[in-house]
């Protein structure tokens, strides 16, 4: 196509903006009304702070700074005028607790999704409400990641700070507040707070009463494609977006990422390897795991739900190895070495519990381990074992799907792990399914932009928008011999966690 960025803009008359407030940075993406990606830009966040082992905190104002930077950058790169943007969709890391005072100032750093300090608060909820009753009310067990446990921790350990709290937001919703002045949240992100009645898609009065949380602290709940706010004049000056531009409710990063990958109907499943790893399945009912190993959340599609299993340290496992033990090596170099090692990594196994674990163990005290090493093994064996261990951990979720009769018709890969041919092949062999990727692998920001497009009526439903916009790219088929081997290695992997528990107590 000829003509450069200005011609591209003139052809795309109704651009929408998607913003994803991630852990490592914020991303802004412009999508044209014809479905073409007009541009994207990112801005890094400061590295999250760990004041103690297992703690993780970030400064919400740093997210807002990065958001402004990313939005201005994508406008400049795409030559789209800020006053031409017709709607904004938001996504972001889930579960974080942003606490605001009566003047809407941040009370303390946000305790984010991977923080593990709230084990005692989880036990208190199980005693106060009852584990089975909590599952009945919220479709989920009490886990250290969820927002409610963070609120209880602050109340117990920082009473002076808690006394100042008047509003609670999640990360992307704090950015929405800075854009619009509104306190709002979507049903998908609210599902990860442990305060939502997921089946009824509203705050749970029973959970709030039992935990003594005032609902007036919580934002108003909307369906993901609903318009819930508009850009203020102050935010317009800071971002370049026209004042009055509508903002839809959006979705947490997992639901928005699933929209961007076309995971909209039962049978469609995604496996995403980012910092964490997630296996996500769309459902037409709130399918609750009675053992609490999976999350059951509202989907970003009105009247639809999803179930997902989470590996805390998926891509983080490889990043940790690179940063701590292979300084100076690139991911490409490491995976090239791993590709020279045969499947099974010559007996080396990796348990990816660097940040505790969610699915299937729900154990914040689990710790990682590399086992089976011999003097003949090199760096490539370790890297391959890490990649296989992450895939084994995600396979745990597929095993639970089978127990719960959650259909798996197709598997679509996303995140940084989907860009590695080796990791794609490993996943196909471990899952025993063909796996594919999408052409526009833009993650949650792309899904947020689709929600914005639906919000202003460019498509009548999220499903029709995804059918029009999401296109398959690569397909990787499982290899029968390697599937047999990976089944054997997975059996060995499942014995690691009990063995490690006997060591760590």
How many residues does the structure list for the chain?
A: 505
Rounded to an integer, what distance in angstroms lies between the CA atom of residue 248 and that of residue 173?
11
Rounded to an integer, what distance in angstroms lies between the CA atom of residue 29 and that of residue 37?
8
Neighbours of 474 (CB within 10 A): 14
Per-residue tokens: 293:
């190993």
The residue from 186, 253, 363, 436 that is catalytic is 253
Give the CA diameter of the chain: 66
Neighbours of 121 (CB within 10 A): 23
In sequence order, what are the residues at sequence separation of 6 or more whose Cβ sits closer than 8 angstroms to the Cβ of residue 26? 19, 20, 42, 43, 45, 63, 66, 67, 69, 70, 175
Per DSSP, helices labelled H in 98-166 are 119-128, 131-138, 147-157, 159-164
The terminus-to-terminus CA distance of the chain in angstroms comes to: 62
Active site residue 101: no
Per-residue tokens: 462:
């999220």
Rounded to an integer, what distance in angstroms lies between the CA atom of residue 396 and that of residue 271?
12
Question: Which is nearest to 258 in space by CA: 290, 229, 317, 298?
Answer: 298
Q: Write out the catalytic residue numbers.
A: 253
């Amino acid at each position: 196509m000829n003509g450069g960025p200005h011609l591209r803009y003139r052809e795309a008359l109704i651009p929408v903006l998607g913003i994803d407030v991630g852990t490592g940075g914020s991303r802004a993406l412009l999508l044209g009304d014809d479905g073409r990606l007009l541009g994207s830009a990112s801005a890094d966040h400061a590295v999250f702070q760990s004041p103690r082992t297992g703690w993780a905190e970030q400064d919400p104002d740093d997210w807002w700074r990065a958001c402004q930077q990313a939005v201005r950058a994508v406008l400049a790169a795409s030559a789209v005028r800020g006053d031409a943007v017709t709607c904004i969709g938001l996504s972001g890391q889930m579960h974080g607790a942003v606490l605001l005072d009566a003047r809407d100032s941040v009370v303390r750093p946000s305790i984010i999704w991977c923080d593990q300090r709230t084990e005692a608060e989880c036990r208190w909820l199980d005693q106060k409400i009852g584990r089975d009753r909590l599952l009945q009310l919220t479709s989920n067990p009490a886990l250290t990641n969820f927002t409610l446990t963070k609120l209880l921790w602050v109340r117990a350990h920082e009473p002076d700070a808690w006394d100042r709290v008047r509003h609670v937001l999640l990360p992307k919703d704090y950015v929405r507040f800075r854009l619009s002045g509104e306190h709002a949240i979507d049903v998908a992100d609210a599902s990860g707070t442990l305060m939502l009645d997921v089946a009824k898609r509203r705050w749970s009065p029973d959970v709030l009463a039992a935990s003594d949380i005032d609902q007036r602290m919580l934002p108003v709940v909307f369906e993901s494609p609903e318009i819930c706010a508009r850009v203020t004049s102050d935010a317009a000056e800071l971002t370049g977006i026209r004042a009055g531009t509508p903002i839809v409710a959006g979705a947490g990063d997992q639901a928005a990422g699933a929209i961007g990958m076309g995971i909209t109907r039962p049978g469609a499943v995604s496996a995403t390897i980012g910092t964490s790893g997630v296996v996500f399945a769309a459902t037409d009912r709130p399918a609750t795991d009675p053992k609490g190993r999976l999350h059951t959340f509202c989907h970003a599609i009105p009247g639809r739900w999803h179930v997902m299993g989470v590996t805390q340290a998926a891509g983080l496992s490889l990043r940790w190895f690179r940063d701590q033990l292979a300084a100076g090596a690139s991911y490409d170099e490491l995976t090239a070495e791993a590709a020279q090692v045969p499947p099974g990594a010559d007996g080396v196994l990796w348990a990816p519990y660097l940040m505790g674990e969610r699915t299937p163990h729900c154990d914040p005290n689990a710790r990682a381990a590399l086992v089976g090493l011999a003097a003949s093994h090199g760096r490539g064996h370790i890297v391959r074992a890490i990649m296989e261990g992450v895939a084994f951990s995600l396979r745990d979720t597929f095993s639970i799907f089978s127990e719960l009769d959650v259909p798996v018709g197709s598997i679509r890969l996303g995140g940084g792990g989907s860009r590695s041919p080796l990791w794609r092949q490993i996943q196909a062999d471990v899952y025993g399914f063909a796996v594919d990727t999408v052409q526009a692998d833009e993650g949650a920001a792309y899904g947020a932009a689709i929600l914005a497009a639906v919000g202003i009526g460019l498509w009548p439903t999220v499903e029709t928008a995804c059918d029009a916009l999401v296109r398959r790219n690569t397909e990787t088929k499982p290899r029968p011999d390697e599937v047999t081997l990976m089944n054997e290695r997975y059996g060995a992997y499942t014995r690691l966690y009990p063995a490690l528990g006997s060591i760590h107590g």
